[in-house]
Structures are given as C-alpha cells and as structure tokens.
Amino acid sequence: MRSVADAVAAVSAHQVTKVFGSGSDRVVALDDVSVDIRANEFFTLLGPSGCGKTTLLRLIAGFDHPTSGRIDLEGQDISYLPPYKRPVNTVFQSYALFPHMTVAENIGFGLKMLGKPQSEIDAEVSKMLKLVKMEAMRDRATSAISGGQQQRVALARALAPKPKVLLLDEPLSALDLKLRKEMQIELKRLQSETGITFIFVTHDQEEALTMSDRIAVMSAGKILQVGSPRQIYDHPSHRFVADFIGETNFLEAELTSVSKRVGKLKLGSGTTIDASLPGDGVAKGPVTAVVRPEHANLVKGKAAAASLTGKLGNIVYFGTDTHYHVALDDGGEFIVRMQNARDDAGRWSVGDAVGVSIDKDAVQVLRD
C-alpha cells in the first residue's frame, strides 16, 4: 500500500533525457532519468561533477527544457513552463544576489514580481530576515556582507515567495568548513520549519549523508540508486555507489544460491557466507560484493569466526579508530576499521597472521 503522501510526488521526472549540442559536440547530460521526489522531503542529488545532477535541477527550475521525457510538479506537467511560471525557487551556487539592491530588496524581489502589496512584502521580508537571523542587515548592500550572510540572504530570497519546492545548487561549496557545518544544520532546521520540499545538489557525500531524507546517486547522466542515507551506505547497488560513498572493500566471489533478497556467497578463501542481494535479477555465478571496513573485525590466527585470512600489513592510527590493512591469503587487500579502546596498544602488530570476521548482514552483492 502506498501512503497518501506518496500518491502524488512533489516532483517527478519521467524518462527524462537532456542532450546538449549536436554532432561531435553532442553531450548526453541526462539519460532516461526517472525519479519521484516526495512532498516535504529533503532530497539530495549526489554525484561527481558532470554526472547530470545540476542539469536535472535546471530542468526542474525551468532554465532548460528536457529533450525528451516529462517533469511533473504535483502531478502537473511543467516540462515547458518558463521559470517565472513555476512555484519553484532556486538557491544558486554563486548566490546570484542582485548587486544593485539591498538585502531587503533582494528578499522581497520575488514577492514584488508576484504583485504583492508593499506592506505584505515588508512583513514577509521581516519574517524571512528573522528566520535566517539577519534582522540587523536589512538595509545593507549585498556586497557589504560576508559569504555566509550572503548565503542566508540567498536562502531567504528563495523561501520568501513560499515555493512548493526549493532547489539548492551546491549552496555550501563556497563556505569554509566550520561555516558549512553550521549551515548544514541551519538548512535542516529551515526545511523542517517551513515544510517545503528541498532538492539539494552536492558532490559531497558526507553532506548528503548527514542532511538528506533520501539520496539519489548519479553518474554519467543516470540515477544509479535512490534510497535513505543508510540504505545507500549499507546496501549500495552499484560499484560506483559503493566506491563514491565512504570507504569500502571489494570482494570477487561466487554466488552459489539465490533466494529473494539473500544469497550464499562463496569467497576466495573457500568460506561461504550470507549476502544481501540488490533486488532481483542477480544470477548465480561470479559477482562483486562489498563490505564496509567498520563492518569487519580482526581475529587472532585462524579462528573459526574468520571468513578471510591473511597477514597484517599496514596499521594506520586515526585517533578514534585504526585502519588495519590485511593482505589476504588468496590475494587482494582488505581494510578493517576498528574503534580504539584504552587497552588496545600493542594488541596487533605488522606481520601477524590474522583472520577477518565479517558482521552479519554486512556483505552486499553489487549489480555490476
């Protein structure tokens, strides 16, 4: 059963393709992309530069139009509507504040264009300034405020007309680390306070994991996987997703039995363990599986719990935890990340023969 909130997506893309240029300059920026973005969710488009995430955002904003396919807003086709006819606002990467207007004039611009009376605009601008904690800057020139403050003004300006969907194009990339962390929390707060659907574009996987309700991982114009941060991190469906987000161990193995979402996996060491499957359509035979470094533990010698065995290579100390690089007996390297305890020192040393025990449900088979 689908819930009512699911019934009509805030934004949905139906088989959207966007091609730029022609002939030898032809670039397929989006390749048959379909996705549903739910109302009131913090949805993130995550991927490296050139993956098509910004193109998809621009199609939703109306700055570009799809070559084929359709984009719906609350069930209405908006594919060819100009930007000024869409109840959608954008926070630009460069902020794009109007340099010839004050902070208040910038924030009030959208409402003014919508033909609201000045008294209403003033009231709304005050509310927005309060929301982003910029009351004191009302009559400043936009050039006379800091980058972080400009960011807040850009947010307030986009939120003031109360859009159905707010688009954010890497809005935090120009800020330094500390400010970025602050703004991440701030954005989350604004999203829950306003109840507006946020579509956030970023190439920063950590940012995506900490802020999003759901993430769509994109690569080469396609959406590879959509899911909650935990789903994406724990159960990546593609090699690219596993590699792009966090650190991971790749294991070449053989799938010996398949039943629904679980299968039996025969590792190079000869051990067989349970593994999660990426939906259906994975056949028996050679596959690649992934295990996150923190989902495995080192065990002494050839203990029974060990799925893999090897020799301890590098030990890299990170303060809160340590990375142990294990050279596997059947070839390849496996990294185990374990949290440091008070009495850990000297427990493991380079050259030790070790076993690797893998947590239950920690093995994920990939589609590719």
Partner 1 sequence: MGKSAVAADKDATSGALAGEEARRRDIQNRWLLATPALVIILFAALGPLLIMLVYSFLQKGLYGGVIWNFSGQGWFDVFLSKDIFDDTISFADAHMLIFWRSIKLSLITTIATLLLGFPTAYFIATRSPKWRGVFLFLVTIPFWTNLLIRTFAIQEVIKNEGLLNIVLLKLGLISSPIQIMFTDTAILLGMAYVYLPLMVLPLYASMERLDFRLVEAGYDLYATRLQVLRRIIIPLVKPGIIAGSILVFVPSLGAYVTPRILGGGKKMMLGNLIELQFGQGRNWPLGAALSITLLVIVMVALLFYVRNASKSGVKSHG
Q: Does 84 bind partner 1 (CB under 8 A)?
A: yes
Q: Does 101 bind partner 1 (CB under 8 A)?
A: yes
In whole angstroms, the minimum distance from the beta carbon of 179 to partner 1 comes to 10
Q: Does 98 bind partner 1 (CB under 8 A)?
A: yes
Closest CA to 306 of 316, 314, 296: 296
Cα–Cα distance between 277 and 361 in angstroms, integer? Answer: 10
**Radius of gyration for the chain, computed over Cα atoms and rounded to the nearest angstrom:** 25
Q: Does 92 bind partner 1 (CB under 8 A)?
A: yes
Q: Which is nearer to partner 1, 96 or 327 (CB)?
A: 96
In whole angstroms, the minimum distance from the beta carbon of 90 to partner 1 comes to 5
Single out the residue of 34, 76, 94, 210 in contact with partner 1 (rule: CB under 8 A): 94
In whole angstroms, the minimum distance from the beta carbon of 270 to partner 1 comes to 45
Q: Quick one: which segment of 173-181, 206-214, 222-230, 340-348 binds partner 1 (CB under 8 A)? A: 173-181
In whole angstroms, the minimum distance from the beta carbon of 262 to partner 1 comes to 42
Record the tokens describing residue 172, joined without a space.
């935090």
Q: Does 198 bind partner 1 (CB under 8 A)?
A: no
Cα–Cα distance between 199 and 201 in angstroms, integer? Answer: 7
Q: Does 27 bind partner 1 (CB under 8 A)?
A: no
Q: Does 319 bind partner 1 (CB under 8 A)?
A: no
In whole angstroms, the minimum distance from the beta carbon of 27 to partner 1 comes to 15
In whole angstroms, the minimum distance from the beta carbon of 74 to partner 1 comes to 18
Task: Return phi, psi of residue 60, to 5°.
Answer: -70, -35
Per-position x/- string for 120-159, each x denoting binding to partner 1 as judged by CB under 8 A, each - no binding: ---------------------x-xx------------xx-
In whole angstroms, the minimum distance from the beta carbon of 70 to partner 1 comes to 21
Single out the residue of 3, 22, 23, 100 in contact with partner 1 (rule: CB under 8 A): 100
Residues paired with residue 265 on neighbouring β-strands, in sequence order? 255, 273
* Residues 214-243 within binding reach of partner 1 (CB under 8 A): none
Single out the residue of 3, 24, 49, 178 in contact with partner 1 (rule: CB under 8 A): 178
In whole angstroms, the minimum distance from the beta carbon of 131 to partner 1 comes to 17
Q: Quick one: which segment of 106-114, 230-238, 299-307, 352-360 binds partner 1 (CB under 8 A)? A: 106-114
Single out the residue of 47, 110, 263, 278 in contact with partner 1 (rule: CB under 8 A): 110
Residues 118, 119, 125: CA angle, nearest 5 degrees: 85
In whole angstroms, the minimum distance from the beta carbon of 170 to partner 1 comes to 13
Cα–Cα distance between 32 and 188 in angstroms, integer? Answer: 30
Q: Does 341 bind partner 1 (CB under 8 A)?
A: no
Single out the residue of 5, 7, 113, 316 in contact with partner 1 (rule: CB under 8 A): 113
Q: Does 360 bind partner 1 (CB under 8 A)?
A: no
Q: Rule CB under 8 A: which residues touch partner 1?
A: 61-63, 82-84, 88-90, 92, 94, 96-102, 109-110, 113-114, 141, 143-144, 157-158, 161, 176-178
